[in-house]
Structure 1
Amino acid sequence: MLDISSRVRVHVEPLLAAQIDMGVCDAIEQYAPVRKPDAMNAPHPSKVAGIDSTVLPSAHTVAPPAASADVPSGVSPGSVGEVALLQDRLAGWVSDLTTLHELTERLTRTSALAEALQEVLRAGAALVGARRGLLVLEPRDGLGPDRTIGLGLARADLGHIETVPRSSMSYGRILDGLPGGEREIAEPDLFSEDGLDPRHREVAAQLGYAASYALPLSTDAAGRLGAAVWFYDEPAEPVERQRHLAGLYIRYATEHLARIVELERTRACMATIAEELLPARLPRLPGVQLAARRSSGPYGGGDWYDALSLPDAALGLAVGSVTGSGPSAVAAMGRLRASLRAYAVMEGEDPVAVLSDLELLLRLTEPARTATALFAYCEPALRKLTLAGAGHSPPLVTGPRRTEFVETSLSAPLGMLACWEAPSIELTAEPGETVLLYTDGLLHRTGDPMDRAFARLHAAAVSVPRPMRVDPGAVADHVLRTVLPDGPGRTEGTEDVVLLAARFE
């Protein structure tokens, strides 16, 4: 047994403990031989921006045998050399673990699918030492979403690659479950391979890559999600250490992607259900033009709008919001909207009666839920609207000569009082003016206090360019782009956004 001084052991044992604590016993077993140097001892290039993975000489490494004057008593020069070699290897392992930690932390901070796919492709390229790559997301169950993204490849380059027969590409063999596609596929020198597809040879020469390395994206629970392939400009392949690190990273990345894919499917399903519960098209009546915009939150919400033709060439306009989010809120929104349509057909000329009936229905059938709503009985020929609101934000009328909020009577939301009733108001629009009905999500999504959110909405309506004012859809789009700092289509917002625009001629 080596007689190693306590000064040396103090620095070796914590490194071994750190390796065990960080769950890399498999890495230690792989590089366990002490007497035979391997690639881990040599300095290696940086894997990602800001991470210097070069193994520097350890500050605690014992001096080599040549400096025998500094060797502690009782320790032979040969033993000291072995300890120094072990410390260098441990330093290399710690450097690789630090790299993996940085990359996985960076991936964990991604929540959108496109962002996560790009991060996986970039990190994998850094680990295997490639400059370009391609990732194809194609879940085996066929439920989607299907995506193809490239790193260092333009859209035209991806188009060229897609012209190659799928079975001759490494990622195609993985996705289609062909022989050899169950694990990594390394092609260190494409042009020296016998039987290389002529089209593949032509595309590789055109795009300037000579080798590739592919890994499957698969989990035990979700099955195969896709495949990633990285391209080398010259004949090359990753060394064993790079393959090991890339495999560890892809294993974690696939689990992260599986969670995001499941969330994307839920969002798409909820958005589809919500869209089916809203009007398939807006009515067309002389004297008025309509446009509607809706952006759903990540879990689906209960914000809605409606526009329906009524007797005597009248028009019913409504917006509302049900508390909560998810499937229950979407279902409640559908029930509330259907009920309001029925009440509007029967007594639409009296908006107060419509909302009173709606409040009674909500209180009797869903006593634990509240909602806000605004209903307008519109007579396009007279440019006249009769409005009633229940806890809802006031409409905004904008035109060439004025932009102002229409103050409705102050009222509690539906379902909060034993009996709801509030007076209605009348509004007469001027030719060329547009009335904007919206839900509170438009104000909340700004992140500002309510007074500043109202001011931002007012300023957005004032700033609509004159050529756009003839189109209510253009007015709605301009307002959304101006009011929302990250755009209306951003899915990270927790609030639904609904905007209904009616322009009078």
Structure 2
Amino acid sequence: MSIRGVGMTGQVDDRQGMTHDRLVEAMNSGVLATDESGRITAWNPRAQQLLGYTRDEVLGRPMHGLLHRDADGHVPPERDCRFMHALRTGIPDHGDGQRFAHRDGRLVMCSWSSAPIYTGEEDAPGPAGLVIVFQDAADRIAVERERLDRMAQVQRANSRLTLVAEITTVLASTLNEEELLRRLVRLVVPALGDWAEVDLLIPDGRVERVAATHHELSSADIAGLEGPLPPLPRIPRGPLARVLRGGPAVVVSGDDGERSDEPLAAAQHELFQVMDAQNAIIAPLAARGETYGALTLGYSRPGQVYGPGDRLVVEDVARRTGLVLANARLYAQQRNTAEAMQRNLLAPLPQPGDLRLEARYVPATQDSWVGGDWYDAFVLPDGATGLVIGDIEGHDLPAAARMAQVRNMLRALAWDMAEPPSKVLARLDGVMAAVSDAELATAVFGRVAEDPAGQWHLRWCNAGHPPPLLITHDGGTHFLDEHGTLLGDPDLTGTRPDSTRVLPPSSTLLLYTDGLVETRDSDLSDRLTSLRRHASHLAQLPLPDLCDKLLERAEPSGEDDVALLALRIPG
């Protein structure tokens, strides 16, 4: 068979060289040629093997209508045929994934290249025909598709692992249970689903939906979904109840629980309706043999389902969350114990005569549990009232224990020594190293007494502590700035002077620790100015309200605990 020797009428010219014919017929690719109108003029044996047509069946027939098919198996418009375009323009072309029609009706996926045929005559208007070489590409395309699918699977697995690592890092950065779970649902949507929610087992036996999110619903819509749920049944039947009772993760469809008489399952189905759930997975938040709650993730789009790989990822996220949740619960228990210890170490306040005393203690809310902050007030043998505010270095249980030691020593020394406050603090400084393991400390110790003329006086000494604030009834504010060196460091030299101040009628003396005014991200002088402004606005409130409002407006950072002691002078 000779490509160049085919006449324009479709008849083969046998005068061409046999060497060229043998080469074409021996090719492992299908070869066909057309005339200038697109009718087939040549067809080699490999073309017959690939497409089933014999040479006699195709010669003279239009190549486009006979062989070219679109993805649906139909003959595409001739204007969209790349073969005909190459024939019209004389521009070589090639492609992959072209569908050729087999004689038995099936489609054969081929790769191909085309080139125009020229007669060599100078006055010819265009190509005299087209030669097309094609090969079966189905196996190669399938292999390539499988390779791409595997790459996509690897990329998806890597992205999921990255997501799990990110979730672990973010969740481990907080021990606040509510914040932990709200972060969780924000992290998993939309990466692992269209919506998510967490149902928590409260230690007293209740079930509560504590966090929920949806990639389309508003925050107001979501807020209405949170809150108490029906109790956990003793014999669980619904999927949520089974998971909360210690069962494994389950995949459910959106209509599960539609006719359930179990209240908890019915509540879950109501959530599914709001979320337009098509498919969901419920995974236990568990650690160390205890189930703390359940994470539910779902898709609102039809056709999206949780497969085995998705289930493994969600279970891993839930397991890691369970561990962080267990640590948060343990932290909360320890913190509550430490806070209770701290509060019990702070003695109840006296109410001597016409004086009024109020105190507040606010533990740190972040990394620290408790600190060494304390306040104290007591009546001295001569009838004066002793006032103390202090802070022991450290933010842990040992600091609280050292605080108790120093507080008791100061009480004893103040009771025993009929001396000015500076002498009492100097004696305390001398005995701290001998009878306590406390190191650095700051404190203000003052004596409040009434003179025969009915005026109240404060005599105080400040050992490196933030200055007390005097608030007059008309809103005037004055920091009592006189201060001396810290307690507990023999290398620190300097004096601790005594100072005296008249306390006007209906004025308030405010003693506080640095947690009220110090943060890492603000200037101390600005915070002190803010404290004065708030105190001025609150000056005429009853003493308990003044203390509460002052804490509310001051907005302590939570980086340190706060002790507050307020004294109101009678009017």
TM-score by length of 2: 0.64
How far residue 286 of structure 1 moved from its aligned partner, in angstroms, is 3.5
Higher relative contact order, structure no. (Cα contacts within 8 Å, ≥ 6 residues apart): 1
Letter of the 1:358 counterpart: L
- Kindly indicate whether the alpha-carbon contact (under 8 Å) linking 1:318 and 1:376 is maintained by their aligned counterparts in 2: yes
Partner of 1:265: 333
User: What is aligned with 1:319?
Assistant: 389
Q: CA deviation at 1:154?
A: 6.1
> Does structure 1 retain, via aligned residues, the 8 Å contact 2:96–2:112?
no
Deviation readout 1:195-220 (Å, 9 max, x if unpaired): x225356545655367753211223x
Aligned to 1:226: 293
State the distance in 2 between where 1:502 and 1:126 align.
Answer: 55
Segment of structure 1 superposing worse, 92-101 or 158-167: 158-167
Paired residue for 1:26?
none
Q: Which amino acid aligns with 1:89?
A: R
Instruction: Look up the match of 1:295.
Output: 362
Relative distance call for 1:201 and 1:271 in structure 2 (3 A) is closer
Aligned partners of 1:282, 1:232: CA distance in 2, in Å?
A: 58
**1:471 paired residue among 536, 539, 542:** 542
Which residue of the partner structure matches residue 456 of structure 1?
527
Match for residue 360 of structure 1?
Answer: 430
Structure 2: how far apart are the matches of 1:176 and 1:201? 13
Distance 1:353 1:469, change over 3 A: same
Contact 2:243 2:284 in 1 (8 A): yes
Distance apart, 1:305 and its partner CA: 1.1
1:432 aligns with 2:502: no
Given candidates 494, 498, 503, the residue that maps to 2:563 is 498
Instruction: Give secondary structure in 1 for the equivalent of 2:336.
Output: helix
* Aligned partner letter, 2:249: E
Aligned amino acid, residue 264 of structure 1: A
Distance 2:343 2:257 in 1: 54
Give the 5 Å matches for 1:49-448.
Answer: 64=97, 66=109, 68-69=111-112, 77-102=138-163, 104-109=165-170, 110-111=173-174, 112-124=176-188, 126=190, 129-137=193-201, 149-152=210-213, 157-159=225-227, 161-162=229-230, 165=233, 167-177=236-246, 181=247, 183-188=248-253, 190=255, 196-197=260-261, 199-200=263-264, 203=267, 207=271, 208=273, 213-219=281-287, 221=288, 223-230=290-297, 238-279=306-347, 281-297=348-364, 298-299=367-368, 300-347=370-417, 350-366=420-436, 369-379=439-449, 382-399=455-472, 400=474, 402-416=476-490, 422-445=496-519, 447-448=521-522
Partner of 1:15: none
C-alpha deviation, 1:349, in angstroms: 6.0
> Displacement of 1:376 after TM fit?
0.9
Shift of 1:336: 0.9
The structure richer in helix per residue is 1
Percent identical pairs in the alignment equals 25
Change in CA separation of 1:260 and 1:374 when aligned onto 2, cut-off 3 Å: same
Secondary structure of the 1:173 match is: helix
CA distance in 2, matches of 1:222, 1:435: 53
- Please say if residues 432 and 470 of structure 1, whose CA atoms lie closer than 8 Å, have aligned partners that are also in contact: no
C-alpha distance in 1 between matches for 2:390 and 2:499: 18
> 2:378–2:386: 8 Å Cα contact kept in structure 1?
yes
Task: Please report how far the alpha carbon of residue 258 of structure 1 lies from its aligned counterpart in structure 2 after TM superposition.
Answer: 3.4
Q: Distance in 1 between matches of 2:362 and 2:285?
A: 32
C-alpha distance in 2 between matches for 1:401 and 1:200 = 56
Could you report, residue by residue, the CA deviation over 1:54-100 in whole angstroms, capped at 9, with x for unpaired residues? xxxxxxxx965756248xx9996513421332223322431343244
Q: CA deviation at 1:375?
A: 0.6
Aligned-partner Cα distance in 2 for 1:145–1:276 = 30
Structure 1 residues not aligned, in runs of 5+: 1-61
Q: CA deviation at 1:378?
A: 1.4
Secondary structure at the aligned position of 1:385 is classed as strand
Q: What displacement does 1:429 show?
A: 1.2
Q: Does structure 1 retain, via aligned residues, the 8 Å contact 2:167–2:317?
A: no
Quick one: structure 1 residues 173 and 309, their matched pair in 2 at CA, closer, same or farther if it must change by over 3 Å?
farther
CA contact (8 A) 2:209 2:225 kept: no
Task: Give the whole-Å Cα distance in 2 for the aligned partners of 1:252 and 1:63.
Answer: 47
Q: After superposition, what is the alpha-carbon deviation per residue over 1:355-409, rounded to whole angstroms, capped at 9, x for unaligned?
A: 1232122121346712111111112663211101222222111222531211324
| Change beyond 3 A, Cα 1:75–1:115 | farther
Q: Matched residues in 2 for 1:222 and 1:468: separation?
A: 54
Change over 3 Å in CA distance of 1:265–1:67 after alignment to 2: farther
| Whole-Å separation in 1 of the counterparts to 2:484 and 2:533 | 25
- The 1:163/1:401 distance shift into structure 2, 3 A limit, reads closer
Q: Is the 8 A contact 2:239 2:265 kept in 1?
A: no
Distance 1:63 1:479 in 2: 76
Q: Distance in 2 between matches of 1:191 and 1:444?
A: 54
Q: CA deviation at 1:278?
A: 1.3
User: SS at 2:540's partner residue?
Assistant: helix
**Partners in 2 of 1:155 and 1:272 — Cα distance?**
33
Check 1:74–1:501 CA distance in 2 against 1; reply closer, same or farther (3 A cut).
farther
Give the drift of 1:434. Answer: 1.6
1:158-197 deviation per Cα after TM superposition (whole angstroms, max 9, x unaligned): 55632574634534333334xxx1x113332555777x22
**1:105-147 deviation per Cα after TM superposition (whole angstroms, max 9, x unaligned):** 25523413322211223444545535352331557xx9x9997
Residue equivalent to 1:23: none
Deviation at 1:276, TM superposition (A): 1.6
Provide the rounded CA distance (Å) in 2 between the counterparts of 1:201 and 1:327.
Answer: 44
Q: Distance in 2 between matches of 1:90 and 1:365?
A: 69
Deviation at 1:332, TM superposition (A): 0.5
